Structure 1
Amino acid sequence: MKQESSKMVYFMRQTIGNARGTVGIIHAPGNAASKIKLGEGSYFDRFYIQTADMDPVQCAAFLVEDQEMDKAYA
């Protein structure tokens, strides 16, 4: 049975090994967006805008290909 995630909850799959913390950090501001203000043009602001219409699997694939995160992780 496929489980649908609510549009009210920001959720992405973790497909990168050993990245639970990174994915958790991405989830936290994404789920607090109505209560916090992200810096316009900041990494998280851009990430959430670019992934807003993606499903959790697509968001994970986007993160895998994200060169900015790759550089930060290195």
Structure 2
Amino acid sequence: MRIFHKYQPLLIAKHVKGFFSGRLYIHGRGAFSYTMGLLVMPENAKARHKETVLEINRLIAQMQIPSATA
């Protein structure tokens, strides 16, 4: 389990994408689990939890889009 003492979405997204499955804790936001390289939405998630999951998963999706180089 990885513990993040500050909410840094990009760092968390890189961790989730790199380790593929596991659990993490974000101070002030709570515990999260991830599988297949994406955060999993818990059944009884509160609004702040949902926002965090959606934001991290959106960043992971953006990292997977190849950037066009000229």
Q: TM-score, normalised by structure 2?
A: 0.32
| Structure with more of its chain in strand, by fraction | 2
Relative contact order higher in (CA < 8 Å, ≥ 6 apart): 1
